[in-house]
Amino acid sequence: MSSDQFSGTPGPDGRPGSDGSVTPSDPTGSPGPPPDGSTAGGGTAGGGDQENPRDSAGTSADDLASAEAAVEADLAAVLAERDSYLESLRRLQADFENYRKRIAKQEADHLARAAETLVSSLLPVLDACDAAVGHGAEDVRPVADALFGILEREGLERLDPEGKPFDPSEHEAVVHEPGDGDEQVVTDVMRAGYRWKGRVLRPAMVRVRG
Q: Where are the domains of the chain?
A: 58-154, 158-210
- Fold classification of 58-154 (topology level): Hemagglutinin Ectodomain; Chain B (3.90.20)
Residues 128-143: what's their mean pLDDT? 91
DSSP assignment of 146-170 equals HHHHHHHHHTEEEE--TTSB--TTT
- Please state whether 64 falls in left (phi above 0), alpha (psi between -120 and 50) or beta: alpha
User: Does the predicted model carry a pTM greater than 0.95?
Assistant: no
Residue 13 has pLDDT above 90, yes or no: no
- Give SS3 for 204: strand
**What pLDDT, on a 0 to 100 scale, did the predictor assign at position 23?**
47
Enumerate residues 6+ apart whose C-beta is below 8 A from 181. Answer: 210
**What pLDDT, on a 0 to 100 scale, did the predictor assign at position 21?**
47
Architecture of the 158-210 domain: Roll (2.30)
Residue 185 has pLDDT above 50, yes or no: yes
Confidence of residue 3 (pLDDT cuts 50, 70, 90): very low
Enumerate residues 6+ apart whose C-beta is below 8 A from 104. Answer: none
Residues 85-90: what's their mean pLDDT? 93
| Angle in degrees, 0-180, between the axes of helices 141-154 and 53-134, rounded to the nearest 10 | 160
Residue 152 has pLDDT above 60, yes or no: yes
List the Cα angle 110/154/134 in 5-degree steps: 120
Give just the sign of the alpha carbon dihedral 14, 16, 18, 19: positive
Residues 102-131: what's their mean pLDDT? 93
**What pLDDT, on a 0 to 100 scale, did the predictor assign at position 183?**
84
Give just the sign of the alpha carbon dihedral 23, 25, 29, 35: negative
Give percent above pLDDT 90 in the chain: 51
Confidence of residue 57 (pLDDT cuts 50, 70, 90): low
**What pLDDT, on a 0 to 100 scale, did the predictor assign at position 46?**
44
Residues 159-179: what's their mean pLDDT? 89
Q: How many CB atoms lie within 10 A of CB 167?
A: 15
Mean of all residue pLDDT scores within the chain: 79
Residue 36 has pLDDT above 70, yes or no: no
